[in-house]
Amino acid sequence: MIITGLTVRQHPCRVTAVKEDGTVTQLALSGTKRENLLGNIYIGKVEKVQPNIRAAFVRISPKAICYYPLPDNPGDHVLNRHPDGRLLPGDELIVQIQKEALKEKLPGVTTNLSFTGKYLVLTSGRKELGFSGKLDGESKRVLRMWIEPLMEENFGVIVRTNARYAQKSELLTEFSYLKQRLQRVTEFGRSRTCYSLLERTPEDYIQLLRDTAADELEEIVTDDPDVYQNIASYLEQFQPQERSKLMLYQDALLPLGKLHSLETALSEALRERVWLKSGGFLVIQQTEAFAAIDVNTGKYAGKKKAQETYRKINLEAAAEIARQILLRQLSGIILIDFINMDSEDHRQELMHVLQRHCRRDPVKTVVVDMTALHIVEVTRQKVRKSLAEQAAELE
C-alpha cells in the first residue's frame, strides 16, 4: 500500500494505491481540502417527507442536505418521534452517511448505524448474526461459537472475511471496542444539538488498511510524516502485529509516486482504451445510467480458428475487466459487450471466469447474466465516486 501526494490536473491531492505483483490494482484520490463524509454520523433534521417515493430529505448541516429512504421502522434513532410513529418535518434523528453524492444525486443517509472494524461490523438495524459469504462452513461454525454468546437485543453483528485470520482474543477486543462506539454515539446523540457530528469516519487510507486482509499486505509505505504517524497510531492500537510493515520513505531524489509509476497508472486508469497483451483492447465509457465496456479483437494476429481466437481474447478480457472495475471504482449497472462466441460451452466458461475474478472485489459485485444479445450484465454496489469523478472534483 502506497500513500503519497501527487499533482493531478494541476491540483494537489493525496493518492492511495495498492500494488499486487508489480501492478496497481486500486487507486483512490482525495483533495487535500476535501473532507470525506462517507461513514460520518450526525444529528440531522427532517426537512421534507415524500410518502409517494417513501423518502425524506434530511439536513445534516446548514449547507448540506441528504436523501433518506424511509425504512419500515426508523428504529431507536428518531429523537422526537410523533406519537403515531410518523416521521414529520422538524424531527431530529441520528443518521450515518451511507453513500457519497454520486453525479447529480444527494448523499444517502440511513438510521441503521454501522460500526466497522477489521473483523466485525456492529449494526443498530439488523439485529442478528450474519457472516461474509466468503467464509467457509468451518470458519463460520467456529466464529459463531465465539460471537453468539456476546449478542444483545439492541444490535446485530456481521462477521467479515478477515475474521478467519483472527484469534479469539482479537475478536473479543474488537467487539468490545465497537460496542463502546455504538453506546457512545447513541447516548451522546440524545444530549447534543441538531447538526452535531457524533462520529467522524477514519481517513481513506486507514479504511483501506482496515479492510485489507493481513496475510495479503506485505508493506505500507508513505512519504508524508503526518500520514505515517496516523497509520502508526492505528496499527499500534488495532493491529500491532502489522507495525513492522510500515515504512516512512525519505529519498528526496526519487519521489515515491515516481518510484511506483503512480502518475502513469492513474493516467492509464482514466483513459477509455485499455490494451490487452493479446493485442485486443477494451473501451470503457461511463454514462449517467451505466458503465459500458466493449471488447475488441484489435491487433490480435493469432493463427487459430476464429472462435478459438474470440475465446482467448474474451477470457483475457474478463480478468482485465474485473481489475478495471476495481481500479476505476465503477459502480451501479455495468454492461459488457464481449466478442460473440457460437459455443454455449465457451459462453459458460467465460461467465465462470468473470465471476471468479469479480469475487476478489471487496465491494459486492454480482455477475447477473448474459442477455439474448450476448451482453453480460454486472452490478456493483454504489459506495464511492468513481476514479474519474474523484479526478474531476479536483478541478
Written as one string, the DSSP assignment of 107-128 is PEEESS-EEE-SSEEEESSS-S
* Assigned domain for 267 exists: no
The answer on 254 and 311 residing in a single domain is: no
Q: What is the CATH number of the domain that holds 283?
A: 3.40.630
In whole angstroms, give the CA distance from residue 284 to residue 323: 12
Contact 124, 116 (CB under 8 A): no
Domain stop point among 79, 110, 141: 110
Q: What is the CATH number of the domain that holds 186?
A: 3.30.230
Kindly state the cell numbers that stand for 323: 481489475
The answer on 240 and 183 residing in a single domain is: no
Q: Where are the alpha helices (DSSP H) in the chain?
A: 137-147, 168-189, 204-211, 225-238, 256-259, 262-269, 306-328, 344-358, 387-393
Write out the residue range of the structural domain in which residue 282 sits: 272-392
pLDDT at 333: 94
Tell me the CB-side half-sphere exposure of residue 234, using CA atoms within 13 A. 20
pLDDT at 83: 60
The answer on 276 and 257 residing in a single domain is: no
In whole angstroms, give the CA distance from residue 257 to residue 338: 34
Q: What is the CATH number of the domain that holds 49?
A: 2.40.50.140
Q: What is the pLDDT of residues 128-179, one digit of tens each?
A: 999 988 889 999 999 999 999 999 888 999 999 889 888 999 999 999 999 9
Instruction: Give the C-alpha distances (Å, rounded to integers) separating 84 from 73, 81, 88.
Output: 12, 8, 11
The answer on 103 and 122 residing in a single domain is: no
Residue in 336, 325, 315 with CA at minimum distance from that of residue 380: 325
Q: Where are the beta strands (DSSP E) in 129-216?
A: 129-131, 156-159, 197-199
Give, for 321, the enclosing helix (H) or strand (E).
Answer: helix 306-328
The answer on 362 and 304 residing in a single domain is: yes
Number of domains in the chain: 4
pLDDT at 144: 94
* Assigned domain for 343 exists: yes
* Assigned domain for 150 exists: yes
pLDDT at 220: 96
* Assigned domain for 84 exists: yes
SS3 state at 11: strand
One-letter amino acid for residue 293 of the chain = I
Kindly state the cell numbers that stand for 351: 461467465
In whole angstroms, give the CA distance from residue 175 to residue 148: 12
The answer on 276 and 258 residing in a single domain is: no
* Assigned domain for 179 exists: yes
* Assigned domain for 178 exists: yes
In whole angstroms, give the CA distance from residue 338 to residue 83: 56
The answer on 381 and 280 residing in a single domain is: yes
Where the chain has pLDDT below 70, the residues are 32-35, 72-85, 103, 214, 299-304, 395
In whole angstroms, give the CA distance from residue 17 to residue 212: 12
Kindly state the cell numbers that stand for 297: 479483437
Domain stop point among 243, 262, 281: 262
In whole angstroms, give the CA distance from residue 98 to residue 107: 8
Domain stop point among 181, 199, 217: 199
In whole angstroms, give the CA distance from residue 195 to residue 65: 11
* Assigned domain for 324 exists: yes
Contact 207, 201 (CB under 8 A): yes
The answer on 317 and 256 residing in a single domain is: no
Q: What is the pLDDT of residues 246-272, one digit of tens each?
A: 999 999 899 999 999 999 999 999 999
* Assigned domain for 16 exists: yes
The answer on 217 and 162 residing in a single domain is: no
In which region does residue 329 sit, left (phi positive, over 0), alpha (psi from -120 to 50) or beta (all else)? left
The answer on 26 and 54 residing in a single domain is: no
The answer on 291 and 256 residing in a single domain is: no
The answer on 120 and 131 residing in a single domain is: yes
